[in-house]
Structure 1
Amino acid sequence: MMDTPKVEKSVAKLKFLCSEVRENLKNAANFREYRHLLTFIFAINDINNDPTILPNITLGYHLYDSCGNVNKVIKDVLQIMSGHSVTAPNYSCMDHGNLAGYIGDQGSATSLPMAQLLGMYGYTQVSYGARDSILSDRRLYPHFFRTVQDNEMQSLALVKLLLFFNWNFVIIFATNDDIGERELRFLSSELTKSGICIEKIFFLTHAEILHASEIKNLKAEVILLCGTSSGLLRHYMKLLCINDPKAEKVCFNDKGEIPETLEILNFITELHDNATGGDTIEGLTATVGSFDGSRTPDQQLNISSLDILWVNNKMPYSRCSEECFPGKRKAVIKGHHTCCYDCILCSNGEVSNKSDAENCDKCFYTEWPNEARDKCIPKVVEFLSYDTDVVAYVFLFLLVLSSTTILLIIGIFTFFWNSPVVRANNRNLSFIILVSLKLSLLCILLFIGKPVDTTCMLRHICFGIIFTVVLSSVLAKTIMVCIAFKATTPGSSWRKWIGVKLPNSIVMILSSLQVLNGILWLSLSPPFQEIDVDSTPGKIIIQCNEGSRLAFYFMLGYMGFLAVMSLILAFMVRKLPDIYNEAKYITFSMLVFCCVWICAIPAYLSSKGKNMVSVEVFAIMASGNGIMICIFLPKLWNILKKSEMKKSNLLEK
């Protein structure tokens, strides 16, 4: 382009070119070039006719057709630089006017040598179609500008389109030249970053024809083009560069480019009958969206998928494997593309909330995956509660029933305090056993409800001490039965042990060991509230940690020792002849106690959470009621029976 008023020769040359173009208007490419030519002439005339744009300057121009040939474009550049008559490098034969710059070329293959040549002379070059990314290098081509953006922007738009349609398996056709190689390198890098695999790459020359048989066995259904060639796609979407329709101000960016919005066109082919009886293929395009690289990544692509017409009204499925839906993760198949994978359900405690997740995310420790494993939900908090567990009310009912029964027995024993049956069975120890049984059963209330540090410290220690009093009293009863029968022999030395001092001392001494254990337990390593989030999937178990395992097992072991000693002694004197001998009832009660706890301890160790607490409560209630029933109900029967017989005798008299 040069600022000269003499444009007659150029117009003449223009007329010659236009005549050639008109003869080839049937060719779409020639029609596009002809349109570019008319646009250029209109712009020059518009500038020259507007005095506010370039006052006192008239633009002229020389038009040359490069014909897409590198040699010809170099010749034309030198021709414009030297003058019209001769080509003389480094000389200008122009008689007037100054050369302002060059516009063109449309293709990268011819624009690149132009830029290399003009860069040496410092002339400005503005291309309206060259997209090769190497031309964005301002160190190599500081004088090159273009009204379009490079191929990298188109590659980014293509990647966005593939992701939008959920395609991750493609075929690439690339021209076997430098431009195709550069575009392929960048496109391949962006595809890999986005998790899209390339099934196969075909390198083509301009004259090469690709047969359908070469791609029919491939799995991918989407084909991408790289470089200067074009071809027929199975599912073809074309990106067209356009000027801003609002005529707003546009500026070159730091790469010498004018930012543009890419249109996404839906290419539609239609088959029609022609007049000769044959078929005519017509191609139509429809705008279905756009891509604006200047926006934020989540707003760059704007597409209306409902407006797209697909072949056979079916969108292509260009994937190597089925999509892994939320709740699953990808597991790459060894020896295959990374896009070829199996879908594996997320492991326990993990979720994936998006499709084709590489990995599953671990839930927070207080959360657990839902059934679909696509989101984390709060874990269920578990402890033996009145709000959620019917068994808690069952235990409460049995506790009230047992406590009422014990109170009734205490009332009857108190009423018949001086009766022979009550006196013969050591009424003081019986009273201690009944009161201790009631208190031990009330300890069940410490086991029901949300555990806290206070209840955790009290539940086992209180029960252990109180029930030890029960077992110590039972053992003292058994010992006194043995002593009583030993003392029946005249002059026996056992008589001095008969009385209330010995059994009381036995109870005090034996119980004090459990009290000492409880004090040391609370002092050194007391029980505490424990929140277990790992042992049971989907649950947060609030439970009591015993603290010192040694103290806990000593408590159980010591009670077991007292029960076994009572059982052995009671078994030895069970057949002694006396109507008031309760040894056999003690034997039965200790058998019940031992059986209950022998069964309960393994169940306790193998259970968790509220089930473990339920086992403890059951063992406490079963053993306590076993002692009450086996020892005191027969006495109660004897008391009431003796009372009834006494009334009958009084009535007979």
Structure 2
Amino acid sequence: MCFTIDEINNSTELLPGISLGYEMYNTCGSITKSVKAALALSNGNKAVSASSKDPCTKPAQVQAIIGETSSSPSLVIATVIGPFHIPQISPFATCACLSDKSKYPSFLRTIPSDYYQSRALAQLVKHFGWTWVGAIRSNNDYGNDGMNTFTKTAQQLGICVEYSLTFFRTDPPSKIQMIINLLKDSTSKVIVAFVSHMDMELLTRELSFQNMTGYQWVGSESWMVDSKTAEVDKHHILDGAIGLSIPKAHVRGMKEFILDIKPIHYSSNDIFTEFWETLFSCTFKESNSSAVNLKQCTGHEDLTGVKHGFTDMSLMPIFNNVYKGVYAVAHALHEILHCNDTCIYNVHLDPFRVLQHIRKINLITKEGHEVYFNEDGDPPAKYEIINWQPTENGVVDFVTVGLYDASLPADKQLSLQNKTLIWTQNSTQIPVSICSDKCSPGTCKVLQKRKPVCCYDCIRCAEGEISNTTDSVTCVQCPPEFWSNDRRDECVKKEAEFLSYEEMMGALLTAASLCGTCMTAIVAFIFFTYRKTPIVRANNSELSFLLLFSLTLCFLCSLTFMGRPSEWSCMLRHTAFGITFVLCMSCVLGKTVVVLMAFRTSLPGSNVMKWFGPTQQRLSVLIFTLIQVVICVLWLMTSPPFPFKNLKVVKDRIILECALGSAVGFWAVLGYIGFLSLFCFVLAFLTRKLPDNFNEAKFITFSMLIFCAVWLTFIPAYVSSPGKFSVAVEIFAILASSYGLLICIFFPKCYIILLKPEKNTKNNVIGKVAPMST
């Protein structure tokens, strides 16, 4: 501040003819001394120094306060001077709470708010994939407020804080030891330290004493470029630390000013005297020091060769912040006093007016640094990313490896340069700090009970669900026609399932159908060959041949149920089945009625047979069949069967089947067949004991019994069978009932025709009852 005021007072362009004065206080970081200094500055009425010249004779009128360098004292000062609207510009107080203009209306600063630093630290942690971190903070406004913002931002970014410990440099050793014990028991390997440089120095000394290596430190700007903290790190526990710092700056002439400082020029100020005696281990004659065996200070010692934090300019960024703050005040006064070549001296200087002008300042210093304040009194937030890299001689080098600019879009705020980063224990591999391993694709995260969200178990996705990203929160249901693969990381198209000819079950059913067709053809051939024999003639050969024809159609219609369903095959299979079976049942019913009528005709005085001759038989078969044809036509016209992809019966496959369309139509077709078969069974049962050598009613009764049993068991089996098995059950029912009719009705006749020809005579067939001839 002395350097900047001298520079301004010696300038002919800024405040010409006006000399700025100053008064300096050292609060030693004490809240009490900060209050005392603030009150003294607000009520001061004594002479003040004006650069290195003679003291002013005017009463002090404080236009602005530069300071404090810590957040807690700054809060107190801002509270005290706030009602007086005296501008306060801090170069190093970063607590975000000071941005609240309703509480601290006159506070401004030339260092960014910790709101941005905390968010930058959270983004830095997220960038390196650390989701499980520990946190240590100073127990003051700087640490508590900064860590609070970091924790909130970290939570939004999916970062979990395992612990958050607080301490202050005046805490007893037991408190520090407790923190170290907690660090040893923790599982996180990354520690975010939002700590002031003085607190960090104390903590580092204790950690180094206990050789607490192996932790990756992430630091705030307060200690990241603090050379004193690096000096006390004897075991290099902080090597590889990464964090933020104020951007490097250069103020021309500042180093030369400090190296050329002579305490004798400031003999009235004890600060310089004590500093000089400590730096060179000497004493002044006028000093009250009681030290012995110390050489005498001359005041002309050379600072150039001294290796000390004061001379290596490591605090230049803070110097630059002070430099910008003083220039902001000077430019505000320059505007208020309407200075050009000269200034108007009779303008009344009101602190509130000065504050208003400082808020509107927007200037570029001669070093090229922009100075302005936003509505919260804060400058633009820019940070350098610093990495602690040890050198060969054991000294830590603070290497700039990136930048953070809060004014850029969110995805471009953090940028790392193409430089090699050094991590803890001099490693070049990024440390890993997670609570749980990443969940691979095909699994999803399930939180562990009473644990943070970063601690989870990886559960395999259920069938039909996938996750194709790492650390997926949920599994996604596959679309209806897709299913999850074995790894559960991809949806694959479901396999279409239908009863085909190529598979074993389809081949067996096809063989059974063709075999039945061939057997029917053989029987027809036998009957045709022996059509003039009594047994063929006695059993109504015309209906027999029609029945054999209908059985052939029944066997063949089962083939329509196999293969990929199409619109035509769906309509054909059910209608062909319904019509052929009704034709079959009509023939059987006609044969049963013929037997019954033949018995009635044999009775004395009976003339019933004339009402059921060949014409009536053909007509009855035609009418019964036409009824089913009408039912099928109505079914096809209203709501016909159609191909349908069934996605519900089997989860991992698509069942290609024929939907019924109209359920009424289907059950009407099936019901009509059932009605005819039941009616035929009743008639055959009533005629089974009629006195005749070859009563065909017995075989019809047995065949109808098989037919009804098959179709009664078909219904529950059909309903309960999944997928293609339901089609197989339907085909089996068709084949079983067809085989039953073929075997029960025609095999006994073939047996007599082929193996017992002696029974195939008219006398043997007629017996007591003369059968009807055709």
TM-score (ref. length: structure 2): 0.62
Tell me by how many angstroms 1:63 deviates: 9.7
1:476 shift after superposition = 2.1
CA drift of 1:133 comes to 1.1
For 2:711, which of 568, 588, 597 is the aligned residue? 597
CA spacing shift, 1:378–1:156, aligned 2, 3 Å: farther
The residue that corresponds to 1:178 in the other structure is 141
Q: Give the 3-state SS of the residue equivalent to 1:160 in structure 2.
A: helix
AA matched with 2:659: N
Contact 1:174 1:184 in 2 (8 A): yes
Structure 1 letter corresponding to 2:385? E
Q: Does 1:368 align with 2:500?
A: no
Q: Does residue 217 of the first structure (1) align with residue 185 of the second (2)?
A: yes
Residues 1:598 and 1:301: Cα distance change in structure 2 (over 3 Å): farther
Deviations 1:182-233 (A, max 9, x none): 2233223223334444443323122224112244334444333335343448
Distance 1:587 1:307, change over 3 A: farther
Change beyond 3 A, Cα 1:420–1:330: same
Change (3 A) 1:178 1:128: closer
User: How big is each residue's C-alpha offset from its partner over 1:210-267, in whole Å with a ceiling of 9 and x where there is no partner?
Assistant: 1122443344443333353434483213312253899998675665322324415256
Identify which of 547, 550, 556 aligns with 1:436: 550
- Please state how far the C-alpha of 1:404 moved relative to its aligned partner: 5.5
Match of residue 217 from structure 2: 236
Q: Give 1:408 shift.
A: 6.0
Which residue pairs with 1:496 in the alignment? 610
The alpha carbon displacement at 1:543 in A equals 3.0
Q: Give 3-state SS (helix, strand or coil) of 2:726's partner.
A: helix
2:476 aligned with 1:472, yes or no? Answer: no
2:95 corresponds to 1:132: yes
User: What whole-Å deviation, never above 9, does each CA across 1:70-99 have from its counterpart, x for those lacking one?
Assistant: 6369849977997994499xxx95889x99
Q: Report the Cα distance in structure 2 between the residues aligned to 1:126 and 1:362, rounded to whole angstroms.
A: 59
Task: State whether residues 242 and 263 of structure 1, in contact with CA within 8 Å, keep that contact through their aligned partners in structure 2.
Answer: no
**Would the alpha carbon gap of residues 497 and 109 (structure 1) be closer, same or farther in structure 2, given more than 3 Å must change?**
same
Deviations 1:568-627 (A, max 9, x none): 655676687878654555455445434543443333111222222222223223333443
Query: Relative to structure 1, is the Cα distance of residues 287 and 93 closer, same or farther in structure 2, using a 3 angstrom cutoff?
Result: closer
Query: Cα 1:205–1:432, aligned 2, differ >3 Å: closer, same or farther?
Result: same
Alignment of 1:110-149 (within 5 A): 110-112=73-75, 127-137=90-100, 146-149=109-112
Task: Show the 5 A alignment for 1:249-268.
Answer: 255=376, 256-263=378-385, 265=387
Q: Distance in 2 between matches of 1:407 and 1:308?
A: 92
Deviates more, 1:563-572 or 1:185-194: 563-572
1: CA distance between counterparts of 2:249 and 2:576?
88
Task: Report the 3-state secondary structure (helix = DSSP H, G, I; strand = E; otherwise coil) of the residue aligned with 2:165.
Answer: strand
Kept in 1: contact 2:38–2:81 (CA 8 A): no
Question: Alignment partner of 1:216: what SS?
Answer: helix
**Aligned residue number for residue 226 of structure 1:** 194
Cross-structure match for 1:277:
none
Query: C-alpha distance in 1, partners of 2:133/2:470?
Result: 19
Q: CA deviation at 1:500?
A: 1.7
Q: CA contact under 8 A between 1:244 and 1:260: conserved in structure 2?
A: no
**How far apart are residue 467 of structure 1 and its match?**
0.8
Task: Indicate which of 158, 183, 187 corresponds to 2:121.
Answer: 158
> Bigger shift: 365-374 or 199-208?
365-374
Q: Distance in 2 between matches of 1:340 and 1:581?
A: 85
Measure the CA separation in 2 of the matches of 1:436 and 1:146.
103
Task: Give the gaps of 5 or more residues in structure 2.
Answer: 208-214, 220-242, 251-366, 761-774
Q: Which secondary structure state, in structure 1, belongs to the residue aligned with residue 93 of structure 2?
A: coil
For the residue of structure 2 that corresponds to 1:130, the secondary structure is coil
CA contact (8 A) 1:441 1:621 kept: yes
Residue 426 of structure 1 aligns to which amino acid in structure 2? N
Contact 2:25 / 2:37 at 8 angstroms: preserved in 1? Answer: no
Partners of 1:168 and 1:413 in 2: CA distance: 89
Question: In structure 2, do the counterparts of structure 1 residues 330 and 466 end up closer, same or farther at CA, with 3 Å as the change threshold?
Answer: same
8 Å Cα contact 2:113/2:381 also seen in 1: no
Q: For the Cα contact (< 8 Å) 1:483–1:497, is it kept in 2?
A: no
CA–CA distance in 2 between the matches of 1:305 and 1:538? 52
CA gap of 1:540–1:86, structure 2 versus 1, over 3 A, is same
RMSD: 5.1
**Max radius of gyration: which structure?**
2
CA contact (8 A) 1:288 1:308 kept: no
Q: After superposition, what is the alpha-carbon deviation per residue over 1:547-570, rounded to whole angstroms, capped at 9, x for unaligned?
A: 554554454454345445545655
Q: Residues 376-428 of structure 1, C-alpha deviation per residue, up to 9 Å, x if partnerless?
A: 44434444456x85644555555555546555655665666555554333232
What's the CA shift for 1:167?
4.1
Q: What is the one-letter code of the residue matched to 1:474?
A: V
1:184 aligned partner, one-letter code = M
Letter in structure 1 aligned against 2:613 = G
Q: Secondary structure at the match of 1:236?
A: strand
What is the one-letter code of the residue matched to 2:477? K
Q: Secondary structure at the match of 2:184?
A: coil
Within 2, Cα distance between the matches of 1:480 and 1:142? 117
TM-score normalised over the length of structure 1: 0.72
Of 437, 442, 447, which aligns to 1:327? Answer: 442
Shift of 1:518: 4.1
Summarize the Cα distance change of 1:636–1:286 in structure 2 as closer, same or farther, 3 Å threshold: farther
Alignment of 1:623-634 (within 5 A): 623-632=737-746
Cα distance in 2, alignment partners of residues 609 and 266 from structure 1: 68
- Does residue 191 (structure 1) correspond to residue 154 (structure 2)? The answer is yes
Cα deviation 1:149-185 (Å, max 9, x = unaligned): 3222232233334444554444332322233332233
Q: Partner of 1:541: helix, strand, or coil? A: strand
Q: Distance in 2 between matches of 1:385 and 1:56?
A: 104
2:193–2:217 CA contact under 8 A, matched in 1: no
Identity of aligned residues (%): 36
Of 379, 384, 387, which residue of structure 1 is paired with 2:494? 379
Letter in 1 for 2:589: L
Cα 1:453–1:594 shift into 2, 3 Å = same
Partners of 2:753 and 2:507 lie apart in 1 by 34
Q: Pick one of 734, 738, 742 that aligns with 1:620.
A: 734
Rate the CA distance shift 1:296–1:394 in 2: closer, same or farther, 3 A.
farther
Alpha-carbon separation, structure 2, partners of 1:493 and 1:48? 150
Which is bigger in relative contact order (C-alpha 8 A, separation at least 6)? 2
**Map of 1:445-594 to 2, 5 A cutoff?**
446-451=560-565, 455-488=569-602, 491-497=605-611, 499-508=613-622, 510-511=624-625, 514-515=628-629, 517-518=631-632, 521=635, 527-549=641-663, 551-567=665-681, 570=684, 582-583=696-697, 585-587=699-701, 589-594=703-708
- Using the alignment, how far apart are the partners of 2:642 and 2:414 within structure 1? 58
User: Is 1:424 aligned to residue 428 of structure 2?
Assistant: no
Which residue does 1:34 correspond to in 2? none
